[in-house]
Structure 1
Amino acid sequence: MEANVTGPERGSVIVGIDGSKPAHRAALWAAQEAVRRGTDLHLVHGADTDSRALYVSVETIERVRRTGRELLDDTAQAVTEQHPDLRVTKEFSRSGPVPSLRRAAARYGTIVVGNRGLGGFNSLMLGSVGLKVAAEATTPVIVVRGAEGRGDAEVVLVAVSDEHDLDCARYGGREAELRRASLRLLHVWNVLQSVGSVVTMLDDIEGIAGEHERSLTAVAEQVRHEFPDLNVEADAAKSMSVPAVLVEASRHADLLVMGGRRSPGFIGRTLGRATHSLVHHAECPVLLIPRYDSEHRGES
């Protein structure tokens, strides 16, 4: 691995750049996040030259390297113009984007990716690299979504499935404090998923609703205890589509925090259904907290 300067320190914000407009926007967003956190920004360009070496000429490899380093320099300059006091490090990696970002983040970094890469065909859809990073990450990942130039909503939104999402709520609380925003915990449960196709169970919907609200209340109480100066709202809703409710709620948030859990029943690394929908369609940046659901519980 080649690097222009030394690598990131613990807690750094890591952002992948590939020359696309979404990646450039992600770098600027990541810089602002690094400033909020009081940490460094680490720019990574995974050129994947090692895997190409057997198939392309030496001249082509050298051109890729030169272009990658110029891209790093240009992005660092753009970031520094907006945040002159921010420490920015750069890394040109011979590996592909996904392993390069994971290695740079190590155990403590937060990875930031744009909502679409150079190979994307639709600005609404997350690119393949971003999707792989989100699915395989063992550290937090932020997918930068939402319209450019939108005003601050001063709200951090956390999707709460059950008590096991307390870590997500804690991350949300920290982000809300950094932004001096309020924290909204939102629990959405799918009526059909809860009662199945057994019509007689419809009589017990109120009881099921009470169980869901108790899970939300338990998380909210703990967060209020740990963040006493934070304005915390807790809402529960039922819907036929959990992702649809969360997408709508994301229109009024600066950041959506949710678990990047694996979906039960699938082999290999993947995202759950609701998580997958949100990284593609949310109206604000999405912060994924990695968690493997070993008990194979549903997402919502």
Structure 2
Amino acid sequence: MTCDFPGLPQLGAVVVGIDASPQARAAALWAAAEADRRGMPMHIVHAADTDRRAILSSADTIQALRQRARDLLAGTADVVTERFPGLTVTKELSRQEPVAGLYAAAGNRGTIVVGSRGLGGFGALLLGSVSLGVASRTRVPVIVVRGRPDRTETGAITAAVYGASDLDWLMVAAAEAQVRHASLRLLSVCNVLAHVGSVTTMLDDVGGIAEQRVHEVSAMAERVRARCPGLTLTHHVETGTSVPGALVEATADTDLLVTGSRHRVIRAGPALGRVSHALLHHSRCPVEIIPPDFALVGDEP
């Protein structure tokens, strides 16, 4: 699909990781709808991890595993093409482990889509180490499909923003809204208690913290409007004591929650921040996480 707003990033091809679970099948259909909206191809990947398994398994076992994987890929592709006959669909049996297989398939511009739960292969993509590895280390957008498949669309996309540093990835959220002909809501949750004893001493009162956030979010909204004059856009700052809780509540009334990943470094490597982690566990709609170093568009107008 050609972007109506030249200042927005071009959304790339969609790569979906599947296993034999119903959740993976639902994720594949969601990914197909996303690719169809974008006017981009869809690539279905099953990572059988045969390179590692071959060390401990017989040749017959590996061959049987590969055949089951091929059948799974073919069956999923058939379901997708029946629902979206005009969509270009390719499939891949990756010999790598799931995280590496998805990274390789997505390249530099693809969007990775995974289901919320599964039975094997990609089965731990939400709550286990594989999902956290995909979302926390990738350099491309990752969408975890959550919520009921029969959920009624709201016609709205929500971007969970914090401050001016979110402006670049926010343009991805605007592009997502544009391809859906949906509205975009910028939502920022201000936990004023987190600043007590620090920033508060530099402001007239606690309410000043929220006022400062309102100013920052309003400025971001104006920058988005400058690039997308035809986009229906609203912005709101909510005060509360739980940022993750407020954002999870917001997922009940939106089709997609988009946020930037704020990595924290632990001994084993980068990990998702507390807010992103909570959204992946509890969101009522699909969640898209945009990495901070994702290359977007050219210079600001």
TM-score of the alignment, normalized to the shorter chain, above 0.5: yes
User: 2-side partners of 1:125 and 1:99: how far apart?
Assistant: 16
- Whether the aligned pair in 1 keeps the contact of 2:29 and 2:80 (CA below 8 Å) is yes
**Residue 113 of structure 2 corresponds to which residue in structure 1?**
112
1:109-188 aligned at under 5 Å gives the runs 109-118=110-119, 126-188=127-189
- Whether the aligned pair in 1 keeps the contact of 2:136 and 2:271 (CA below 8 Å) is yes
Q: Deviations over 1:48-100 (max 9, x none)?
A: 01101111111110110000011000000000000011010011011111100
User: 1-side partners of 2:56 and 2:125: how far apart?
Assistant: 33
**Residue 244 of structure 2 corresponds to which residue in structure 1?**
243
1:149-228 aligned at under 5 Å gives the runs 149-196=150-197, 204-228=205-229
Q: Secondary structure at the match of 1:287?
A: strand
**Residue 47 of structure 2 corresponds to which residue in structure 1?**
46
1:214-293 aligned at under 5 Å gives the runs 214-263=215-264, 268-291=269-292
Question: Which stretches in structure 2 are left out of the alignment for 5+ residues?
Answer: 1-10, 294-301
Q: In the TM superposition, what is the alpha-carbon distance from 1:159 to its structure 2 partner?
A: 0.4
Specify which structure has the bigger relative contact order, considering alpha-carbon pairs within 8 angstroms and separated by 6 or more residues.
2
Q: Which letter maps to 1:128? A: S
Q: Secondary structure at the match of 2:205?
A: helix
User: 2-side partners of 1:258 and 1:181: how far apart?
Assistant: 17
Q: Structure 1 124/132 Cα, relative in aligned 2: closer, same or farther at 3 Å?
A: closer
Q: Structure 1 140/49 Cα, relative in aligned 2: closer, same or farther at 3 Å?
A: same
**Residue 33 of structure 1 corresponds to which residue in structure 2?**
34
Q: Which letter maps to 1:103? A: A
Q: Deviations over 1:17-51 (max 9, x none)?
A: 11111111110000000000000000001000110
User: 2-side partners of 1:126 and 1:87: how far apart?
Assistant: 31
TM-score, length basis structure 1: 0.88
TM-score, length basis structure 2: 0.88
1:57-136 aligned at under 5 Å gives the runs 57-118=58-119, 126-136=127-137
- Whether the aligned pair in 2 keeps the contact of 1:125 and 1:280 (CA below 8 Å) is yes
Q: In the TM superposition, what is the alpha-carbon distance from 1:280 to its structure 2 partner?
A: 0.9
User: 2-side partners of 1:96 and 1:250: how far apart?
Assistant: 31
Q: Deviations over 1:259-291 (max 9, x none)?
A: 122026665121000011001111110011001
Report % sequence identity. Answer: 51
Aligned residue-pair number: 282
Q: In the TM superposition, what is the alpha-carbon distance from 1:130 to its structure 2 partner?
A: 2.1
User: 2-side partners of 1:147 and 1:178: how far apart?
Assistant: 22
Q: Secondary structure at the match of 1:56?
A: coil
User: 1-side partners of 2:235 and 2:198: how far apart?
Assistant: 29
Q: Which letter maps to 1:190? A: N
**Residue 8 of structure 2 corresponds to which residue in structure 1?**
none
Q: Which letter maps to 2:238? A: A
- Whether the aligned pair in 1 keeps the contact of 2:115 and 2:126 (CA below 8 Å) is no
Q: In the TM superposition, what is the alpha-carbon distance from 1:190 to its structure 2 partner?
A: 1.1
Q: Which letter maps to 2:134? A: V
User: 1-side partners of 2:35 and 2:199: how far apart?
Assistant: 50
